[in-house]
């Protein structure tokens, strides 16, 4: 596949996948999601690869979720892909990160917001730069991920914190994320990729079959969330066409205060 939105590099057992859309803070469009799935499948297929690193290009962002500028009332332009209703193959992307039988490490180099936050949550491990910021934003911009984004997040940080994250849409520092168990380690920004390489090296020394079975065991305990995710994405496809959702999208694009009060009838 010709890659336009993603950089893909394989070296010494490590596959590094970088979302490369820094102008939009590494937000993803349909093509980006398709390329991410392709890269993950290539890493899955390649027996010399033992660990995958997911990160974002530049210093500002890991990923800020769906590209709001590519979102229409019909969802996203899927360019013929299996959009699953919203035009983005997010369900397949989530399932691929979970099912690839190798650890996936999120190297969070900046903002991990919205659907970008969900991506790091699904990854097996997260190493964060000390200037990374974490948060959900859907209810502010007329969107939500009520699958892995909510149910699996609650497994990680607990019900109260997960509800706070979604209901208030605040941003959290890397240290706050560490305190709530949302990330594994915080390092000075300039050390991020060295630290990730060290974690990869430790993983590469371990038995691949043992790691694979452990990952599947962890996954099995939350496997039911896939069904919740399908319902969530199905309902999101219907929600995106509503005036309420479009108010959220338009307010972000127009850089103005959002007004959801009129929908409280």
Residues found near ligand S0N in the complex (CB under 6 A)? 24-25, 27, 64-69, 86, 88, 90, 111, 113-115, 118, 136-138, 141, 143-145, 149, 252
| Region label for 49, one of left (φ > 0), alpha (ψ between -120 and 50) or beta (otherwise) | beta
Q: Which residues are annotated as a binding site?
A: 64-68, 76, 111-115, 143, 240, 255
Backbone angles phi, psi at 32, to 5 degrees: -60, -45
Name the residue nearer to ligand S0N (CB basis): 17 or 251: 251
- Closest distance of CB 52 from ligand S0N, Å: 21
- Beta carbon nearer to ligand S0N, 211 or 233: 233
Question: Annotated binding site for substrate, which residues?
Answer: 64-68, 76, 111-115, 143, 240, 255
CA–CA separation, 176 vs 77, rounded Å? 36
Q: How far is the CB of 228 from ligand S0N (least distance, A)?
A: 13
Longest dimension (CA), the chain: 59
Q: Considering beta carbons, is residue 91 or 124 the nearer one to ligand S0N?
A: 91
Least spacing, CB of residue 83 vs ligand S0N, in Å: 10
Quote the CA–CA distance of 25 and 20 in Å, as a whole number: 9
CB atoms within 10 A of CB 77: 16
Q: How far is the CB of 19 from ligand S0N (least distance, A)?
A: 11
Q: Nearer to ligand S0N by C-beta: 14 or 78?
A: 78
Closest contact distance (angstroms) between CB of 131 and ligand S0N is: 12
Q: Which is nearer to ligand S0N, 178 or 237 (CB)?
A: 237
Extract long-range pairs of 167-170: CB within 8 Å, 24+ residues apart.
Answer: 167/139, 169/135, 169/136, 169/137, 169/138, 169/139, 169/140, 170/135
Q: What is the 3-state secondary structure (H, E, C) of 208-238?
A: HHHHHHHHHHHHHCCCCHHHHHHHHHHHHHH
């Amino acid at each position: 596949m010709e890659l336009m939105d993603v950089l893909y590099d394989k070296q010494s057992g490590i596959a590094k996948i970088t979302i490369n859309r820094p102008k939009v803070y590494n937000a993803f469009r349909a093509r980006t999601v398709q390329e991410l799935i392709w890269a993950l499948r290539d890493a899955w297929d390649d027996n010399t690869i033992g660990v995958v690193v997911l990160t974002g290009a530049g210093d500002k962002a890991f990923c800020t979720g769906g590209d709001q500028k590519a979102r229409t009332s019909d969802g996203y332009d899927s360019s013929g892909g299996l959009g699953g209703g919203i035009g983005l193959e997010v369900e397949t992307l989530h399932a691929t990160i979970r099912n690839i039988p190798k650890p996936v490490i999120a190297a969070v180099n900046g903002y991990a917001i919205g659907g970008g936050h969900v991506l790091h949550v699904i990854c097996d491990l997260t190493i964060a730069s000390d200037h990374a910021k974490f948060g959900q934003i859907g209810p502010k911009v007329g969107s939500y991920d009520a699958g892995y984004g909510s149910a699996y997040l609650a497994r990680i940080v607990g019900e109260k914190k997960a509800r706070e994250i979604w209901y208030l849409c605040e941003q959290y520092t890397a240290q706050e994320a560490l305190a709530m168990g949302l990330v594994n380690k915080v390092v000075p920004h300039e050390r991020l990729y060295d630290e990730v390489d060290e974690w990869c090296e430790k993983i590469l020394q371990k038995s691949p079959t043992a790691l694979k079975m452990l990952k599947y065991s962890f996954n099995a305990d939350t496997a039911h969330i896939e069904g919740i995710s399908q319902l969530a994405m199905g309902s999101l496809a219907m929600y995106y066409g509503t005036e309420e959702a479009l108010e959220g999208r338009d307010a972000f694009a127009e850089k103005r205060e959002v007004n959801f009060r009129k929908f409280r009838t």
